[in-house]
Structure 1
């Protein structure tokens, strides 16, 4: 059964909290929420059995976390802050896809984060066009063209992915919830606004950038840039293909990372 927490902005966030010990909060990328994402839930369940506490939540504007106002990156970060309070004040953040740029923004702003586990962060180069792309998505949302906004958001993904989503029973919900993509676009634009070494200069926690064994070439470029920008950050190949991880290896890796990243366990 869902639990709920209210942010300092008054938004009600739905989440599942499992296990005990050092905490891990999953941050979904564009579109997913708990009801249509059994893989993250299964990963969280397995990781919680390995001695950590896990939180999977419906991002603002999705699932059981409806919002009737404009959702921006700041509002999304308030949701993460509320969840950090739920787990005792600090946690590792696990971002998936554009959830990585949201996790990076949280850490760069000094939120009480123990570490970042980043799965296939789709970051572009400085001035790579994300600001203009996100602006078009926002304009289409304001004009009421929600499907057009979703299609433009997904313009760089393989066409077969989009066609598969169009045929899925979840597609109408993805269209209806397209306003929840504003924080993704805003955070991705932020990651292109200056050199990563400058944007991530305040991040001084363990960072592990993970990639599937079969993924897209641009993911390696982004991973290399993150690792080069954050002292001590590492890159790791994991079982997974086409932007999706395998549940059990990912759960074991995350549990080990969360335990190692806990301040009391870090090597001195």
Structure 2
């Protein structure tokens, strides 16, 4: 494990395996670097240096500078700067592979000028102004976290931010996974904020000169089925690639690595 120092001083943890062109994997909600181990193995076997990242407030990464007395107000640009810091640490340019909210972070990083050679956006949860969550969701989540009500923050984000079915939320709440999710509660504030900022992407995001591949799996959420083609229609640099092996809003490692290899090489 290594750390990159983001623009605001936050330490961002990342892991490297393999050799070749760096491909930085940016996970979605509640994910850490450990959750990307399978796709990292597949990318490494395909001849890339796979770089998995603990996003801000997750895993071994910080949530603001270690010597800060209090956390500064969050803005989506902070995570774009985090990605830029990791890119700098692994050689100065990289391919980005972002999944779910991680795809939004990847797009933000490229739009803010990070040296990205190719974008792979896996099932980005964009709404394009349709059925948006309540505007005060990030604020309410932060209030819950600040009050120590991390369980409620997690469930509120799952219900309002991700819109999981209630039976699935109840199943997760009763599972052994719940304590781990609670440890990531602060990150729900950041994901909700980033989703709101990118849900209807601006011209800077849409008119990147970076080759972009939007990946869409099978049996995924209706929101994602709608969002992927809508993004490609609006983004001249983008292509839509269906990945039938990726099911249920997950990333199939082998199929995804093959798609990356075919385009980067």
TM-score (norm 1): 0.85
Q: Which moved more, 1:17-26 or 1:60-69?
A: 60-69
For residues 83 and 11 of structure 1, the distance between their equivalents in structure 2, rounded to whole angstroms, comes to 12
**Count of residues in Structure 1 that have an aligned counterpart in Structure 2:** 253
Cα RMSD between the aligned structures? Answer: 2.1
Alignment of 1:181-220 (within 5 A): 181-192=188-199, 194=200, 196=201, 198=203, 200-220=205-225
Aligned to 1:162: 169
The SS at the match of 1:15 is: strand
CA, structure 1 residues 8+109, in 2 after alignment: closer, same or farther (shift >3 Å)? closer
CA, structure 1 residues 164+256, in 2 after alignment: closer, same or farther (shift >3 Å)? farther
Alpha-carbon shift at residue 214 of structure 1 (Å): 1.6
For residues 190 and 116 of structure 2, the distance between their equivalents in structure 1, rounded to whole angstroms, comes to 19
Aligned: 1:80 with 2:83: yes
CA displacement 1:33-61 (0-9 Å, x = unmatched): 134x2xx2111112112121210011111
For residues 214 and 129 of structure 1, the distance between their equivalents in structure 2, rounded to whole angstroms, comes to 22
For residues 149 and 24 of structure 1, the distance between their equivalents in structure 2, rounded to whole angstroms, comes to 32
1:179 paired residue among 168, 186, 193 = 186
TM-score (norm 2): 0.86
CA displacement 1:172-219 (0-9 Å, x = unmatched): 121122112233112211123x5x363524412111111112212221
- Gapped regions of structure 2 (runs ≥ 5): 65-70
2:45 paired residue among 38, 42, 49 = 49
Alpha-carbon shift at residue 8 of structure 1 (Å): 3.1
For residues 104 and 142 of structure 1, the distance between their equivalents in structure 2, rounded to whole angstroms, comes to 29
Aligned to 1:12: 11
| C-alpha contact 1:58 1:64 (8 A) present in aligned 2 | yes
For residues 213 and 149 of structure 1, the distance between their equivalents in structure 2, rounded to whole angstroms, comes to 29
Alignment of 1:111-260 (within 5 A): 111-126=114-129, 128-130=131-133, 131-155=135-159, 156-192=163-199, 194=200, 196=201, 198=203, 200-238=205-243, 239-259=245-265
CA, structure 1 residues 218+108, in 2 after alignment: closer, same or farther (shift >3 Å)? same
